[in-house]
Each structure stands twice: as structure tokens, then as C-alpha cells.
Structure 1
Amino acid sequence: MDLRHLSFRLLEVFMCVVQTGSISETARRLHLTQPTVSLQIKRLTETVGEQLFYTQHQRLMTTEAGLELFRTCLQVFEQFDDYQRYLKEIQGGERGHCRIAMVNTAQYILPKLLGPFSLEHPNVDMKVEIGNREQVLARFERAEDDLYVFSHPPSLEHALAGRFLQNPLVLLAPAHHPLAALSQVSLSDIVQYRFLLREPGSATRMLFDSALQSRGLVLSDSIQMASNEAIRVAVSAGMGIAVLSRHVIPAQDTTLKIIPIKDLELASHWYFIVRTDRHIAHAAKHFLRFAQMNLENYLDKTWVRNGLNELNQALSK
């Protein structure tokens, strides 16, 4: 049998003839002429090389070879029905893969959205990469992921951004530190103390350095650390003070004190970033729609800044 001569339409006609036992009824159901149906059956018979039907009491009966072909066709069409349902789930974002790369600080907030989404859509495979800004920027440049989360977006020449959460930075000191007794401080008051800092290039470090430079201030002592968590633990242990994202600090941690800095507001915003020069998985688009609808349900309403509508509209075109 030469499979090159088979087509789904040819097999569909054959299956209808088997089910109806009639050329005329098959023609009526499939909106074909009777000669067309007869010709299709003749072509299929020649392709298979075996008789598929015989006539008994003016009704077409199926031979043993025809019955086996019919059973094979049922399996094939059932498999393709399953595949069509699978495609609909993928296209609807209910199945498939979603790759997200986020900078370190985002790991304190994004799981609050990823968890509920995964519970509602268990067939979506979420792959999450976490790194410092330099590492995530490298992934962005290589277009390795569907979504990126930054507090300072990279170049958007080939990308779109949607803001979703404010990222306030606060001055953090140990509860027993001399600064902890003050209701507020000025930036010039604190440069004399040892600071625990993120690596150059991190969004937090860039904001803080910019604030110091704008006032002509220089830190007298500093130690660089690779993660927010390490800095938070070190501050709690009395190793120094730090400027960190408010989202990093546990609400019930009594070993730490947040001290307002007067006349200075350090804040950025979190953004979802999507490259426009690569294919974006349907599941990733579905997650962004989920995020737009549920930011205030799962994140602190105080900081939510929902700007995802424009991003989602652009991705739906």
C-alpha cells in the first residue's frame, strides 16, 4: 500500500460508507455526488490492493480487510481528535511551557502569583531562573525565556514592558543599632556607618549610588554581598546597615528596624518584560493575563501598580 495516495478526506469517505452501507447516503452526509464517492472508494481499493466491500442484499458489506482498515482509521482519527484538543489547550494557555527569568529580589514576590496560577493550570510547565541583574540581562540578550522580571528594564528596542508593582527601598538597621532609636534620619547622617551593599549593577545598588552622588556623599565603610538574603541576615546579626527592597523584609522580624530617610524616596517598579523578536509561548501570555486580573488578590495592594493591560493588548495582536 502506497501511503502517499492516502488522504484524510479519502479515509473519511471510506469510514462513512462502512457506517452507512450506502454510496448514496454517504454522498448525502458528506455533501458529495454519488460518482465522487464511488470514485473515492475505487481509488482507495486500488491503493490498498485488497477488496474492501462486497454487495449483499443491495447493501455494501465490509470485507475482512475493509474492517481492519476501518478499525485502523478509528484509531488514527481518535488520535487526531486528541491532538486537536491538545492544540486548543495549548492555544488557550492551559498546557505547554512558560519560561521566566527574574532578578534575585523578585523571588520574594513573584511566587505569590506563580503558586495560584500553577494550582489553576497544573498542565503548564513553569520553568523559573533566578539570578543577579547581570545574569538575567545575559539571558535577555540571548532571548532564552518567555518573560523577564526587572525593576529597571533593559533596552526595549526589541521588547515590551508592563509595570505591575512598586519596589520601595528602605534603610534597614539592627534593632539594637544607635540609628534604631531615631524616628527618621538624613542621608548625610548615615554615611559614617558600615553599609552592606549588593554588587555594582544591581538595581538597588544603582538607585542608592545615584542618591549618594546627587548629594556629593561617599560611604566611609562598606561590604559587598551577593544576595539580598545574605544582607538581611547580616544586618540582623549586627554586621552593618543596608538599603534593601521593602519586599525582602519579613513583617514580623523584630531583629530589624526600618528607619525613614527624610527628604528622600528611593523606589523603583517591577516590570514584566517580553521580547518582541521571539515566539512567546501561549502559556506565558496566559500567565500575563492571569497576573493582570489577580495582582491585587495575591500581592500587597499598597504597592500594586497594574500596567499590564497595554502589554497584554500588544501581545494579543
Structure 2
Amino acid sequence: MHTTLRQMRVFTTVAKHLNYTRAAQELHLSQPAVSMQVKQLEESVGLPLFEHTGKKIQLTEAGKEIFQYVRTIFQTFEEMEEVLDAMKGLDTGRLNIAVASTVNYFAPRLLAAFSRRYPGIDLSLDVTNRERLMGLLKNNEIDIVLMGLPPEDIELVYEPFMENPLVVIAPPGHALQHERRIPAQRLAEEVFIMREEGSGTRLAMERFFTEQSIPLSTGMQMTRNEAIKQAVRAGMGLGVVSSHTIELEVETGRLLVLDVVGFPLQRHWYMVYRKGKRLSPPARAFHDFVLAEALRIKQEPV
């Protein structure tokens, strides 16, 4: 089989997007040029790599196998570049970080402090939901992820680096505002604004209600904590969120935390990466920096 790095790069980009137009845009090529590179690779392999279903394309079984191998090849090249950069010192290098949306209330401060210490490292930050984080980890497409409870169906290395307490929030003037030691069963009378299915916060919340045998009345579903906070402020229901995400709203009186028995739910934020992954020098530096400095940075006044 005779193939080129260019063909593999084009194929990988098409396989990632499953769309020739998006791949062409990312590669700054014309769509016919992208199609030609894929066709040449298919001729070299001797098997079709994509199949068309209507206007959509999907990887064939051969395409899936090639995709896995090609991705490994490029990851090896990246590791080689990072090792060579390390031989020159930590003045250069790339670092790709992905964080859950709840962590993003703190992540920019953490990354800013890291950049001040290692100004030559090129940082990339992806803020996304739990489902996409799991995909990035499963496919080994990211250096390090900062998230809540890691999934159990992927072989991972994970280390807690900060507590992440979950609290019940309500709008000012709520009937329970001045109550103390509110029985958890009282929450059965309230409607809750929920995070999306699979969210770590939602999983912890549902587990608590199930363990307490409390029926959970749900209202709207939101994919972002910011949307949940706005819905709660508007009186659409109560919410359960990380206490780190509401510091400003509580301080300014726009939201309040209810004193419910069993809350806060004590959780942690974790630093996560694939088991067996060799951390690049920039990733290792970030790993050590987070474990040593995250809590101090979080406690600094904004």
C-alpha cells in the first residue's frame, strides 16, 4: 500500500466531520481536492473507506480501521514533536485541555496562572458537556480533561484536585428562604430545572433523590448552568448546581442557597486522561501545576 501523509491528513479530517465541505474548510482546500485525496487513498487501500446514505456519509468497516491507525500515527508524530520540544526546555509546546461547563467558572483563572508560569506553551481550551468529554477521552483526542465524576466504562487515570459541592438554589423571596434544616422530603413539593441527561450534576442529584425515596418533579431541561440560574431567578423552579458557579449571584442577592438536610452533596473535580497515555512535557507540567496550585488559585480574590 502506497499512501502519503497528506492523504492520511485529509482522510482523518473527513472522517472526523463526516462531511467533505467542513473538511475542505478546515484544511483550506477545495472540495474536489479533498475528494481526490480520499479517492487516491481508497485506490491505494483497495477498499472503499466511506459509504453514502442519501446526503450523509459514514465510515465503512475498512474506513474505521484506517481511521484508528491513522489517528495513532499522527498522535505519535505529535508526541515526537513534544519530546523534541522538551529537549529544548519548556519554552515551547502545545497543550489541549477540555473542561466540563461547571469547571469553566474556574478554569480560565487556572489556565491564566499556568500561562504566566509557562508563557511559551500554546494552550487550547475546549469547554463542553459530559457526553463530548467522554468521546474525547474514549478516542484519546485530548491531553487532559477537567470534569466531575469520570466514566467507569473507559480505562482512565483520574485524580481529584478540588472539592465541588452541589447546593440547592432558589430565587429571592422563595417560601423556604428563611427556613433552616429543611427536610429533604420537602423538596418533593418543588419543581426542579434539570441539566441534560448524562450530566454529572444531574446524575448526583437523581442518585440523592432515589436514595432518599423522594419523587423528583422536573420542569425544563437546560444544557448550561447559566441557563439554569436564569430559569431559577425567573421563578420557574429550583436548581442544583455547583456552589463554585453561583458565588457572584449569592453575593449580589440574585440567588439564594437553601439549607436542605443532606446538602451540599460533596463531589470533586477530577483531572482525567487515558490510561497508558504518555503525558507530553507540557501536559505533565500542567498536571503537576494543577495538583499543587489549583486550590490556592481558587481561593484568591477575583
* Candidates 163, 177, 181, aligned match of 1:180: 177
* CA RMSD in angstroms, aligned pairs only: 2.1
**Structure 2: where are the runs of 5+ without partners?**
1-82
Mapping for residues 22-37 of structure 1, pairs under 5 Å: none
Out of 136, 143, 146, the position equivalent to 1:146 is 143
Residue 162 in structure 1 maps to residue 159 in structure 2:
yes
Distance 1:220 1:271 in 2: 30
- Whether 1:171 aligns to 2:168 is yes
> What aligned pairs does 1:30-179 form with structure 2 within 5 A after superposition?
87=84, 89=86, 92-155=89-152, 158-179=155-176
Aligned partners of 1:132, 1:90: CA distance in 2, in Å?
36
Relative distance call for 1:91 and 1:200 in structure 2 (3 A) is: farther
Task: Give the aligned partner of residue 211 of structure 2.
Answer: 214
- Residue aligning to 1:293: 292
Q: Deviations over 1:156-193 (max 9, x none)?
A: 86321111000100010001111112123122112212
Structure 2 CA distance for partners of 1:147 and 1:221, relative to 1, 3 Å: closer
Look up the SS of the partner of 1:102 in the other structure.
Answer: strand
Answer with 169-178 or 157-166: which moved more.
Answer: 157-166
User: Take 2:200 and 2:102, find their aligned partners in 1: how far apart are those partners?
Assistant: 10
Q: Distance in 2 between matches of 1:166 and 1:263?
A: 16
Aligned to 1:197: 194
Mapped to 2, the partners of 1:130 and 1:254 lie a distance apart of: 27
Secondary structure of 1:181's counterpart equals coil
* 8 A contact 2:161–2:270 mirrored in 1: yes
Count of aligned pairs: 216
* Separation in structure 1 between the aligned mates of residue 263 and residue 157 of structure 2, nearest angstrom: 30
Q: Is the 8 A contact 2:156 2:272 kept in 1?
A: yes
Identical pairs, percent: 30
Q: How far off is 1:201 after superposition?
A: 1.0
- Aligned partners of 1:243 and 1:142: how far apart in 2? 31
Which letter does structure 2 place at the counterpart of 1:149? L
Residues 1:269 and 2:275 aligned together: no
2: CA distance, partners of 1:90 / 1:176: 60
Distance in 1 (alpha carbons) for counterparts of 2:142 and 2:209: 35
Question: Structure 1 residues 92 and 157 mapped into 2: Cα distance closer, same or farther (>3 Å)?
Answer: farther
Q: CA offset at residue 90 of structure 1? A: 5.9
Matched, 1:246 2:243: yes
Counterpart CA distance in 2 for 1:210 and 1:297 is 31
Give the SS at the match of 1:267. coil
Change in Cα spacing, 1:264 to 1:233, as seen in structure 2 (3 Å) is closer
Residue 156 to residue 150, structure 1, CA distance change in 2 (3 Å) = farther
Gaps of 5+ in 1: 1-85, 302-317
What secondary structure, in the 3-state scheme, does the structure 2 residue paired with 1:270 have? Answer: strand
Distance (whole Å) between structure 2 residues aligned to residue 90 and residue 147 of structure 1:
22
Q: Does the CA contact (< 8 Å) of 2:168 and 2:263 recur in 1? A: no
Q: In structure 1, what is the Cα distance between the partners aligned to 2:192 and 2:154?
A: 36
Change (3 A) 1:91 1:135: farther
Give the CA deviation at 1:145.
0.5
* Partner Cα distance (2:129, 2:85) in 1: 37
Amino acid at match of 2:99: M
Deviation of residue 264 (structure 1)? 4.4
Contact kept, 8 Å, 2:193 with 2:228, in 1: the verdict is yes
* Aligned equivalents of 1:195, 1:283: Cα separation in 2: 42
Q: How far apart in 1 are the matches of 2:273 and 2:217?
A: 40
Kindly indicate whether the alpha-carbon contact (under 8 Å) linking 1:186 and 1:261 is maintained by their aligned counterparts in 2: yes
Structure 2 Cα separation of the partners of residues 256 and 273 of structure 1? 32
Deviations 1:197-225 (A, max 9, x none): 10121111111101111122212342211
| Superposition deviation, residue 88 in structure 1 | 5.8
SS of the residue 2:151 aligns to: coil
Residue 224 (str. 1) matches residue 225 (str. 2): no
8 Å Cα contact 1:102-1:149 kept in structure 2 = yes
How far did 1:258 drift? 0.5
